Structures are given as C-alpha cells and as structure tokens.
C-alpha cells in the first residue's frame, strides 16, 4: 500500500492506521505475541467474572468491583487489539471515520471507567480498614450498584461530549494515523473543530474524571496507612495491609502507564516509544490486573480450585 499517496487536502472519509513499521518476520512475531496475550487476557478476565457470578464466597463489594474491572479490561482490549492485529498482517489497516471515532470513544470511555473503578475500590478499602464497624451497613449491594452506575454514566457523558466536540466538524488533511489505534492526539491534528475549545474541554474532563479520582485514591491510602500504623500488633498491621496490596499494585501500574502515555509530551518521545506504551496500556495492562488480584487473593484461588474440582468431578461422572 502506497502511504504517501494517501495524503490529500480533501475531506477525510477513511483513515489508515499505520501501526508498527517492521519487517514481515517481526510483524508475525508481534502478531503471535499480542494475539496470545489477548486470548489469555480474555480467559483470565472471563474467569474472574465467572467466579464472582458462580461463587457465594466472592459476593463481597470488593469482588463486585473487581468483576466490573474485568469487564472494563475486556472491553478496552477488544476495542483495540483485533484492529491492531489486522494492521500487523499488512502495511496498515484502512478504517472508516465512524469506526475510528467509535474506537476513540471506547478507549477513552473504558480508560475513564477504570480510573473511577479504582477510585471506588480505594474507597471500599478505606471503609473496610478505617471504619470497619460501619462497613457492612454502608457498603450494601444497593450502594455498590449506585457507585458503579454513576461511574459508567458520568464517564459516558463526559467522553461523549469530548468525542462530539472533536468530530462534529469532520476531518481534513492527511488521513494517515501513525499509531496503533485512533487516539486523541492524532485525531486532534486533523480535526476541523476549534482546537482551543477541544483542549479546554479535555483539561476540564481530565481534572474531574482522572486527576480528582487519583487525588481521592491518594487521600484514601494516606488515611489507610495512618489507621494501619495505629494497630498495636504487627500481625494485625500485616493482615490489614495485605488486603490493600493488590489494589495498590494495580493502581501504581495503571496510573504509571497513563502518566507515561498522556502526561509526557509526545514530541519528546519517539513515535515508536508512544506506540509501545499504547500497546502495553491496551494489551498487557488488561491481563495484569486480574492476575495481580488472583495471585495474592486466597478467596479467588479457593473459588477457582473449587470450580475446577467440581468440573473434574462432573467430567468423571459423565464418562463413568
């Protein structure tokens, strides 16, 4: 495909996702690696969802939020990886404007939802450690459902507003997107909308939908650490802190990737580095989250072991 011929001054009706510019052998290796990670990610996240729905021992608020986190991870990776894999099979992937805008909306939406869910989960840990006597009364199923519903609703409205602002005037210029998916920066460069208004809107949304949740997480953990230090026994402190390790690890990993992707100016990074960060964020991170929670969580391991034992028992009975 001749990429240089795709740069015109006409209104854009389709985009070319450039992806990685590598040799055929490297593309095949990268395709195999990403496809394997994607499949394993789907299996692990669907397993978390299935364990929550099928086990009475995992019906606590923490696992309710973890189930929604797995749903978000599935949707985030699915909105990017299949199209990215297609780009690896050729010299780019042609995608319509509507499909590209939809992909941008989905990536932004599920990114924001994950930030909110991690904030809600930190609030859950804060109540469990700092206010244990009232935890059960406060974190009812109705309250958890309300928190999750508002999370999805607020993020949907915010991201939809930004998407409409960027795209309502159409796109003009070169239709080549030198990225692995339709991201904010490359779309803004060719958008016919008022860039100043879009940037102001983005800053406002980032403050209310990303920065403030992060501040809430930090505040929650400051209070959690203070409460843990007040516990008289070392065993009690270790037990209290162990309930937060998985969530804290996920928060550090996820926000670390986001900071590397969106905070550092793209002009100071090479195009290749930006693509690698995007690949880690959309492919590897959705796999790490459930694994981090599963490895250190005895309840999840017990539920999985019980599920496997039950299935093996049913398998033996069927063939006897």
- What's the chain's average pLDDT? 83
Whether residue 3 is contained in a domain is answered as no
Domain count, the chain: 1
Q: Does any domain span residue 121?
A: yes
Nearest to 69 by CA among 10, 7, 6, 117: 117
Q: Quick one: pLDDT at residue 1?
A: 44
Q: What is the pLDDT of residue 10?
A: 66
> For position 71, what pLDDT does the model report?
95
Please tell me the predicted confidence (pLDDT) of residue 204.
87
In a domain, residue 1? The reply is: no
Highest mean pLDDT, choosing among 29-38, 51-60, 194-203, 266-275: 29-38
Q: Tell me the per-residue pLDDT of 168-206, one tens digit each, with 9 for 90 and over.
A: 877 887 788 888 888 888 888 888 877 888 888 888 888
When pLDDT is averaged across residues 211-218 and rounded to a whole number, the result is: 90
pTM of this structure? 0.87
State the CATH number of the domain containing residue 180: 1.20.1070.10
Residue-wise pLDDT for 114-168, tens only, equals: 999 999 999 999 999 988 888 989 999 999 999 999 999 999 999 999 999 888 8
- Contacts of 52-56 with CB under 8 Å at 24 or more apart are 54/303, 54/307, 55/303, 55/306, 55/307
How much is the pLDDT for 114?
A: 92
- The answer to the question of residue 181 being in a domain is yes
- Asked whether residue 2 is domain-assigned, the answer is no
- What is residue 292's predicted lDDT score, i.e. its pLDDT? 85
In a domain, 4, yes or no: no
Residues 212/112, Cβ–Cβ less than 8 Å: no
Whether residue 177 lies inside any domain: the answer is yes
Residue span of the structural domain in which 133 resides: 9-319
Asked, for residue 240, whether it belongs to a domain, the answer is: yes
Q: Is the pLDDT at 241 greater than 70, yes or no?
A: yes
Q: What is the mean pLDDT of residues 101-112?
A: 92
6 band by pLDDT with thresholds 50, 70 and 90: low
pLDDT of residue 7: 54
pLDDT above 80 (res 22)? no
Q: Which residues of 90-124 are buried (b: 16+ CB within 10 A; e: fewer)?
A: eebbebebeebbebbbbbbbbbbbbbbbbbbbbbb
């Amino acid at each position: 495909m001749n990429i240089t011929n795709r740069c015109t001054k006409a209104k854009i009706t389709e985009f070319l996702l450039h992806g990685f510019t590598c040799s055929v052998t490297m593309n095949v290796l990268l395709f195999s690696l990403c496809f394997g990670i994607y499949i394993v990610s789907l299996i692990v996240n669907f397993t978390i969802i299935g364990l929550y729905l099928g086990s009475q021992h995992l019906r606590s608020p923490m696992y309710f939020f973890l189930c929604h986190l797995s749903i978000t991870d599935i949707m985030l990776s699915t909105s990017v990886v299949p199209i990215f894999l297609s780009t690896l099979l050729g010299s780019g992937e042609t995608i319509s404007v509507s499909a590209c805008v939809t992909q941008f909306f989905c990536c932004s939406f599920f990114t924001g939802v994950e930030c909110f869910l991690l904030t809600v989960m930190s609030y859950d840990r804060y109540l469990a450690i700092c206010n244990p006597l009232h935890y059960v009364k406060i974190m009812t199923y109705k309250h958890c459902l309300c928190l999750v519903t508002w999370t999805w609703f607020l993020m949907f409205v915010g991201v939809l507003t930004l998407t409409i602002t960027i795209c309502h005037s159409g796109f003009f210029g070169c239709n080549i997107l030198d990225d692995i998916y339709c991201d904010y920066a490359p779309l803004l460069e060719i958008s016919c909308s008022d860039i100043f208004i879009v940037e102001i809107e983005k800053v406002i949304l980032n403050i209310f939908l990303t920065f403030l949740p992060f501040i809430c997480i930090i505040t929650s953990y400051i209070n959690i650490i203070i409460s843990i230090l007040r516990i008289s026994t070392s065993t009690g402190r270790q037990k209290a802190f162990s309930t937060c390790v998985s969530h804290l690890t996920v928060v550090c990993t996820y926000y670390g990737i986001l900071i590397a992707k969106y905070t550092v100016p793209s002009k100071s990074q090479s195009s290749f580095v930006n693509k690698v960060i995007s690949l880690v964020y959309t492919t590897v991170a959705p796999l790490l989250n459930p694994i981090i929670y599963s490895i250190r969580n005895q309840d999840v391991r017990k539920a999985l072991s019980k599920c496997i034992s039950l299935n093996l028992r049913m398998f033996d009975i069927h063939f006897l």
